[in-house]
Amino acid sequence: TPNVFLVAGSWDNNVRCWEVERTTGK
């Protein structure tokens, strides 16, 4: 089902944004 991939992609993007903010000291 495409919905599963959409949710997984959105979650992955959120994790990456959080990691970037954490590593850049935001």
- Altogether, the residues listed in the chain come to a count of 26
* Side chain identity, residue 16: R
Print the domain residue range for 18: 1-26
- Report residue 16 CA to chain centroid gap: 5
What are the backbone angles phi and psi of residue 24, rounded to the nearest 5°? -90, 0
Q: Name the CA radius of gyration of the chain, rounded.
A: 11
pLDDT at 26: 60
Q: What is the largest CA-CA distance in the chain?
A: 37
Domain count, the chain: 1
What are 1-26's pLDDT values in tens digits? 677 877 777 888 888 878 888 888 76
pLDDT at 17: 79
DSSP 25: T
pTM: 0.35
